[in-house]
Chains A and B, each alone.
Chain A
Amino acid sequence: MELIRNKPEPKEAAAGVIEHDAVAVNDPARRELYHKREQIYPKLVQGKFRFAKWVFMILALGAYYLTPFIRWDRGEGAPDQAVLVDFANARFYFFFIELWPQEVYYITGLLILASLFLFLITALFGRVWCGYACPQTVWTDLFIAVERLFEGDRNKRMKLDKQPWSVDKAWRKVGKHSVWILIAGATGGAWILYFHDAFAVVNNFVTGEAALTSYVFFALLTFTTYTLAGTMREQVCTYMCPWPRIQGALTDADALNVTYRTDRGEPRGRHKKGESWEGRGDCIDCKACVAACPMGIDIREGAQLECIGCALCIDACDDIMGKIGRPKGLIAYDTDLNIERRVAGETPRFDLIRPRTILYTALIAAISGLMLFGLANRTELSLDSYRDRAPNYVILSDGSVRNGYTLTVVNKANESRVLSLALQGDPAFTMRVLGADAEALAVGPDETRDYRIFLNLPREAVDAASEPIAFVVTDPVTGEVAETPSVFQTGEMR
């Protein structure tokens, strides 16, 4: 009470609405080349977007921290972790999918799909990825929530930082940083669980028996989480991340963005009780939107590079609009085009279907289709052949020609197989498999095995410099067939 009495009366932007003493620290007008960072103290807001962000945060973090513990039975000898990147054995497991290193194109496809989804979402709704789903945003949001828990909301935090050091300030700061480090440690700790058996790693990690790389990546991710979400925050988005720069090429005038509807808000100014709303805008310049912004900008300046589209200013403004009895949505997901339309007396509209969105959707459909086709037709038996280059061919004493091949049989199934090998090509070829019978090539479960093959062609059958051939293996039990083309070099110069 003492403190409040000593302070000047807070200004009112309208009846019952305090005008925030908020400055958009990253306002374009304040921009300089060598600008020292100013701390941003985002004010807590309530509203549907804030609620959506809380829900998404819980789902995203829950999935991240808990996924490694989900089990998935793959039978004897195979790991039972649902999602596992097994570098030691060069396998990637995702529930029912098991990928080998040579199938890395699925990962490529997944990354391309992810980019295209981002493009599409950006073309439709602006930077919703940045605002809701980006790990930087999610963890920063969590860290700010922790900060609020220890140091209070915006005004209290600002006051605390200006205070000289005291026991109260010290415990709040120590508490905040301790919890941050705990969260950061859990983040780094969860990361390594994706690369080894989660339960074993947790146990080994505590007893000091885990691999050095586990500790290194734990330390690395703990450090980056702590610094990026704790101390760097909006600077990551503004200065480090390439995504905002790419946005310019991906959005257009039709993309929804967090927009201050100037047609409704201007001219802005304080509103006194009982005053008419005629001839003035709905913005009472209370700066609630600026106080809520985690990026330190004033959304009323229009679309800005720093804006991550988190929509917290929408919640802040809607709250104020409710208090002063004006319709909500002074700040909303909208486009500048619609502002122009309203000014011109037209009906605002939102075009979901545009050449850009059609193209992105078509590309997504094509690539997902391709990947699904590949996955559905993925064989568990594959074959490669490597023809000897030294020597390229061997002339035998009766003039016949021999070529050597290494045949690599890949069995991705979890059972061993006995395959029969056949040769496609000139029937004059004779085939010999070193150390095995061509009718019974054994290959173990989940194994890659090499066989040496010798092909002989009698002199009288030689009629070209090279002859196309193909090796075909057949699993007589499952009926699976794998084939690999090759050539037979005769050394004839024709």
Chain B
Amino acid sequence: MAEDQKKEVDGYSGVETTGHEWDGIKELDNPLPRWWLWIFYASIVWAAVYMVFMPAIPAPPGMDGHTPGLRNHSERANVHAAISELETSRGPMFTQLQQAADAGGPAAIESDPALLNFALAAGESAFGDNCATCHGAGGQGFVGYPNLNDDDWIWPSSFDDIRATIRHGIRWEDDPDSRFSQMPAYGRDGLLSRDEISAVADYVMALSDMIEPTPEGQGAGAEIFANQCSACHGVNGLGDQSIGAPNLADAIWLYGSEPDQVRNSIWRGPYGVMPAWNERLDETTITALAAYVYLRGERAGDSFADLRDEMAEELADAGR
């Protein structure tokens, strides 16, 4: 038996063949390299040791899905530990920020460089996670979603007001404290005809020099504005933050400044909604967010207030 199965030896290399042959090509039975074998054996030993110390063998339900291993290692537990460690390390800074904000408002934050940088960094991080979806990275805004960097605030813009807005949202119906106002859908609800909307749109756009005044605008448009719009947006169209009525006489247009966009806004009556965040975010995060938004934005009171006074004077001079 053994004689018959004697291995064939390759004449050229002097190495036994495996006996496998493909189209006359035979495979030499060279031994595995020793370094390779040693790594292989070491891997087997490593696997055995690993199974003893680390979670490895699937177990029936009720045993937590797997054997825990002697080290009782758990990535999930590690993540929880790391997160709580991070929170502990950041805790004092957040407490300091909260106290400074409650006691002295943004001025107290601005006066402490470390606190300022912390507020901006923490705010930026929370903003990116929660707010950037609508307001854009850095709060640059989109059509219908306000730019938070400018000085045109639809709702009151003090630090505490911004905090309240973040807490309770805008037109968020589940929260009774939410900021609320509503512009009628003049076109959709049949309050104004298309021609009337067109005329009042002309009037509004002429307010901020977007177009030259038109006869329809200054005639029918002015009259409709006085009857329908001035109650909220003011006689001069300068708006009223306390009821969330935007300034129509400035360079900033939340729903777009093209004639079609302005007419569309009057037709449908914009109803922008922002969720209340007080259930989702804790108070310190809201404070950091408010600081971030407040400090990056411009304050009404410099350029905006000057403009308001200027325009009021102009209008008074014109005898209206």
Contacts and interface: CB of A to CB of B under 8 A. Distances in A.
Interface of A: 388-392, 394-400, 402, 404, 434-436, 442, 449-450, 452, 454, 456, 459
A390 B136 contact: yes
B149 interface: yes
A385 B147 CA distance: 23
Interface in B286-317: 295-296, 298, 300, 303-304, 306-307
Given A391-B149, A435-B113, A436-B113, A452 B250 contact: no
Nearest to A443: B113
Contacts of B151: 396-397
A452 B120 contact: yes
A402 B150 CA distance: 8
Interface string B66-85: 00000000000000000000
B252 A404 contact: no
Nearest to B247: A397
B152 A397 contact: yes
Contacts of B137: 390
B89 interface: no
A397 B113 contact: no
A394 B303 contact: no
Interface in B89-139: 109-113, 116-117, 120, 136-139
B307 A391 contact: no
30 contacts: A389-B138, A390-B138, A391-B138, A391-B141, A391-B147, A394-B149, A394-B150, A396-B152, A396-B252, A396-B298, A396-B304, A397-B151, A397-B152, A397-B250, A397-B252, A397-B303, A398-B250, A398-B304, A400-B303, A404-B296, A435-B109, A435-B111, A435-B112, A435-B116, A435-B295, A452-B120, A452-B296, A454-B298, A456-B303, A459-B251
Contact of A394 (B147, B247, B295, B304): B147
Contact of B303 (A389, A396, A442, A450): A396
A391 B117 contact: no
Given A390-B137, A402-B149, A397 B117 contact: no
Nearest to B149: A394
A402 B139 CA distance: 14
Contacts of A389: 138
How many B residues are at the interface, by size bracket?
20 to 34
Given A397-B250, A398-B306, A402-B149, A388 B298 contact: no
A400 B307 CA distance: 12
Given A404-B149, A434-B116, A395 B252 contact: yes
Given A391-B140, A452-B296, 7 more contacts: A390-B137, A391-B136, A395-B251, A397-B303, A404-B149, A442-B113, A450-B117
Interface string B231-255: 0000000000000000100111000
A389 B137 CA distance: 9
A191 B111 CA distance: 46
A391 B295 CA distance: 15
Contacts of A388: 138
A400 B120 CA distance: 24
Nearest to A392: B140
A402 B251 CA distance: 13
Contacts of A442: 113
A391 B139 contact: yes
B307 A398 contact: yes
Nearest to B120: A452
A460 to B, nearest CB: 13
A415 to B, nearest CB: 18
Nearest to B136: A390
A395 B152 CA distance: 10
Interface centre among B112, B252, B304 (most CB of A within 10 A): B252
B245 to A, nearest CB: 14
B140 A396 contact: no
Contacts of B252: 395-397
A397 B150 contact: yes
A453 to B, nearest CB: 12
A397 B296 contact: no
B251 A399 contact: yes
Q: Closest 5 interchain pairs by CB?
A: A391-B140, A390-B138, A397-B250, A435-B110, A390-B137
Contacts of B112: 435
Interface in B258-310: 295-296, 298, 300, 303-304, 306-307
Given A402-B298, A435-B110, A442-B113, A390 B251 contact: no
A489 to B, nearest CB: 12
A397 to B, nearest CB: 4
Contacts of A459: 251
A82 to B, nearest CB: 33
Nearest to B137: A390
B151 to A, nearest CB: 5
B303 to A, nearest CB: 4
Contacts of B304: 396-398
A390 B116 CA distance: 20
Nearest to A391: B140
Interface string B135-162: 0111111000001011110000000000
A454 B110 CA distance: 15
A454 B295 CA distance: 11
Contacts of B109: 435
